[in-house]
Chain A
Amino acid sequence: MAPPHTPPRLEAPLLEVLDLACQRGGRRVFEGLSLVLEAGVLLALTGANGSGKTTLLRALALLVPLEAGVVRWQGKDVAADREFWRGQIAWLGHLDGLKGDLMVRENLLIAERLRGGDGSRVDAALATFDLTNLASRAVRTLSAGQRRRTALARVVASGAVLWLLDEPLNALDAPAQTALRTALATHLASGGLAIAATHTALEIPGARTLELGVA
């Protein structure tokens, strides 16, 4: 059930968000949020701590209930077919989503098979983040930056159209940041879409910015 990476028609918006509202712990985090994104676009979410960047990413993935509003993918309400929608998403949370006792390559292969893929992109993704020589190290023995690179390689290996990234630059050194920018540029050029919550500019040409927490 690997989601086919078919470049959609460029003129149609890939992702539409209409009038979205979300509550966390009894507090309205945002409301009336609307977005229209075409293929090949990177949206950077900025804003102070607690302004709702992570909540918006989780809401788009339907991990938190929407208080109001609708999310449409290629014109269809994503809540109508959640399993299809989850198949379109590659997720990088603020936690890395890796098993410490498994090796780097095992983590990626298992994550990919849990998504229904065959893991054929894993080795290329490892090479992208210069992890090939760490492939058979247990993740618990890695540094924070190396773990983050592994988590990013997991995103790349998924081949999903929509990347949802929470602070992707966290703990990355300069070469790894460059590798992430290259991977993002490749993903966008092949018709992908990425939404990243970030405090540091991602420096991707043509990126759009949405500042949250500004009333």
Chain B
Amino acid sequence: MTGFAVLVLRDLRLVWRRPGDVAVVLAFFVVATTLFPLGIGPETNLLARLAAGVLWCAALFASLLSLDRLFASDYDDGVLDLLLLAPWPLELAALAKCAAHWIVTGLPLAVLAPLLGVAFGLDAKSLLVLAATLAVGTPTLSLIGGLAASLTLGARRGGALLALLALPLCIPTLIFGASAVETSVSGEGFGVHLAILTALALVSLATLPWAMAAALRQGGE
């Protein structure tokens, strides 16, 4: 088994031992999104138009919630030194941490979102589009958040700084994720938006692990 797989499985096992951390994130997503239909009232047309933006923003905030501990926990207990000293590329270790984060955050968000979309009166096709955009878009959020987490390693008030760093970088993903669902609601083609989301994910995948590794080496000094 490669170090990459070992690290992904280790992080999943740690989440399994402490499921509360992930449960809080998913509960936040559910509560935050259901507040909107309750606050706005049963105006189905208005809700359907808001759905994409609200669900995407809530997913973005939810995935950032758990990110401040992504590298900080390994930094605090000294395991980061062992990752820095592992005889394989640190870029892969950073990617493994983000992959584990996506499996326990992004993927459940993509599964949950269509269920919540029902409360916004989205049609069946748009619910599927919503799930698809989140499935393709949340890896980008995990990678960008991972970069912010590695840059704020050891910083005081790292959580707030992390959000400040990560949120602006997530704007393109947010725009194309939400607009894919909107165009689906208004009955237009959404393929282009989905393609751009995929492109954003691939560009993040191809560049951010290197940036994260560099930040971790600095932080590990």
Residues of A within 8 A of B (CB): 1, 3, 58, 61, 63-65, 83-84, 86-87, 89, 91, 93-102, 106, 110-111, 113-116
Contact = CB atoms under 8 A, between A and B. Distances in A.
A84 B18 CA distance: 35
Nearest to B73: A99
A86 B86 contact: yes
Interface of B: 1, 3, 6-7, 10, 13-14, 17-18, 76-79, 81-89, 220-221
A101 B14 contact: yes
Query: Interface of chain B, helix or strand or loop or mixed?
Result: helix
Given A83-B87, A86-B85, A102-B17, A116 B3 contact: yes
B87 A110 contact: no
B88 to A, nearest CB: 6
A86 B81 contact: no
Contact of B10 (A89, A110, A116): A110
Contacts, number: 75
Contacts of A86: 85-87
B109 to A, nearest CB: 24
Nearest to A81: B87
Given A91-B82, A116-B3, A99 B14 contact: yes
Contact of A113 (B6, B18, B76, B220): B6
19 contacts: A63-B84, A63-B220, A63-B221, A83-B89, A87-B87, A89-B85, A91-B81, A91-B82, A97-B77, A97-B79, A99-B14, A99-B79, A102-B13, A110-B6, A111-B82, A113-B6, A114-B7, A116-B3, A116-B88
A84 B221 contact: no
A65 to B, nearest CB: 8
